[in-house]
A and B are shown apart, each in its own frame.
Chain A
């Protein structure tokens, strides 16, 4: 009896290992081990090139916590940006997914239309939007005489924040719309049809039936958009390069500048570790909170 039990347990263990190992190995090899290697640099003073590397213990971390005003303002920017971007992106993406799930002409083309910005290269997006904000808005303001087009969207520190958020949301909505569309497909039509017969309106149907059932999608989307917003780099890099001055510099961009422009690779690695810990804390908290709300069929 015990022998058979153990054999069954071994078989289950092998099955578990066999099915999960390939994925885990790929992740360890190409992300986690390199990241651990980078962490060792956070305890050094290294410019990324010298063959000799100097260990300095926790000095980088002390500096980062005490005398780095740039990192402080980058954190404030990033957190503010994250709140706005995550909220806006998820609400609009969900709304779009719901509307484009209904019976509408040409909804495939419409879905593609909203998705396209997500596949255009970010350097192009940066340059095209730069043109829109400066020359384009000049033309629009000449045509419409609306004050909004006369503002300096990229040159004024506060407007630049709005510009970065706008372009970021514009670029990413399609992606999350895809996730929500997939989620909506799993909502059984019978339940919705039954609710129609009961006489409940679309809004009530959405909040009582649809939303609880698509919580897995919401969890994925919010989790991913949260970590992406905290890591925000590409759109900012191509649109403002963190400027004017440091008005739109996110933590990730600050890390990039530290490591590659200031040539302080060790210090940059320390900042990366801090960013990772920040993301880890916030997302795990979000994950556990949302997972509790998921409904299992």
Chain B
């Protein structure tokens, strides 16, 4: 389905759109290279000289290596847990056509309709009772509860594209259901898994409010976002450090996304021979 000339035109248009679309990010980048007074004087002007000073500052103030590992741990643990829990449950609920299954499904999906602020204080209380506060482990576990609803919903829908006959093939060997699931069904859900991983990893990496509530007592366990927010006060915002801090925080996420994108292509080429 290749149409060289048409594709080129569309390419150019998309690239132009993307550049305009990312203008705000461009502003973050150029302002991370300026000094405070330069930023205050004119936000949209280009920096007069390129200086990495803000990055060094932010890196130190944010205790970057330590907090990077914390954030990585929380994100990995949270995402892995969500993928595991929601794929298995989503699959089972989708295949089981009973009233109970529909009810459980609704219960699992209901949290998507509940605004976070309305239960967050009670959540902190529950977390404290379960000794999950002030630890990255605890935060990761809490993320399971928050991430599963949407991910389970996605798996639930996509399982429909996997023919039921495959279920019987997998389970008929007397294999334990979990093993059968992971060897046969799960690989076929790859597009969804990739999306689930991307969506959850991204929001967990950049989440602010929940880590604030759970980790605020433990300086060693803080995440990158919490450190970046400390540049924002009511009466004084360290713009130069804040912009640098934000870039330091989102760059790993962007790299992760780019790597994962390439995986989709590989997976698609391999998985195209199904049916």
Contact = CB atoms under 8 A, between A and B. Distances in A.
Band of interface residues on B: 35 or more
A252 interface: yes
Given A20-B93, A120-B28, A182-B191, A31 B114 contact: yes
Interface in B68-115: 81, 84-86, 88-93, 96, 100-101, 104, 107-108, 110-115
B89 A20 contact: yes
A116 B22 contact: yes
A60 interface: no
Interface stretch (A50-58, A82-90, A125-133, A153-161): A125-133
Contacts of A124: 28, 242-243, 246
A262 interface: no
Most interface-central of A24, A139, A279 (chain B CB within 10 A): A24
B5 interface: no
B170 interface: no
Nearest to A280: B113
Contacts of B262: 108
Contacts of B118: 35, 38, 255, 268-269, 272-273, 275-276
B85 A108 contact: no
Given A23-B108, A27-B145, A123 B122 contact: no
B123 A32 contact: no
Contacts of B112: 223-224, 227, 283
Contacts of B249: 121
A181 B111 CA distance: 25
A182 B21 contact: no
A248 B99 CA distance: 41
B149 A27 contact: yes
A297 B145 CA distance: 31
A114 B21 contact: yes
Interface stretch (A61-69, A99-107, A144-152): A99-107
A252 B250 contact: no
A24 B249 CA distance: 32
Most interface-central of B7, B81, B113, B268 (chain A CB within 10 A): B113
A220 interface: yes
Contacts, number: 265
Interface in A24-83: 24, 26-35, 37-38, 48
B89 A19 contact: yes
Contact of B110 (A32, A175, A182, A193): A32
Contacts of B229: 121, 123
B89 A22 contact: yes
Interface string B158-190: 101101000000000000011000000000000
Interface residues of A, number: 93
Interface in B1-27: 1-2, 7, 10-11, 14-15, 18, 21-25, 27
Interface in B233-262: 237, 242-243, 246, 249-250, 253-254, 257-258, 261-262
Most interface-central of A99, A131, A185, A216 (chain B CB within 10 A): A185
A280 to B, nearest CB: 5
B52 interface: no
B127 to A, nearest CB: 8
Most interface-central of A20, A108, A112, A132 (chain B CB within 10 A): A20
A75 to B, nearest CB: 14
A109 interface: yes
A131 B27 contact: yes
Contact of A29 (B7, B22, B145, B154): B145
B43 A109 contact: no
Interface in A171-211: 175, 178-179, 181-183, 185-186, 188-189, 192-193, 196
19 contacts: A19-B177, A20-B93, A26-B145, A27-B107, A30-B123, A31-B111, A34-B122, A35-B118, A37-B125, A113-B18, A117-B25, A120-B25, A124-B28, A129-B24, A139-B44, A178-B195, A230-B113, A273-B118, A283-B113
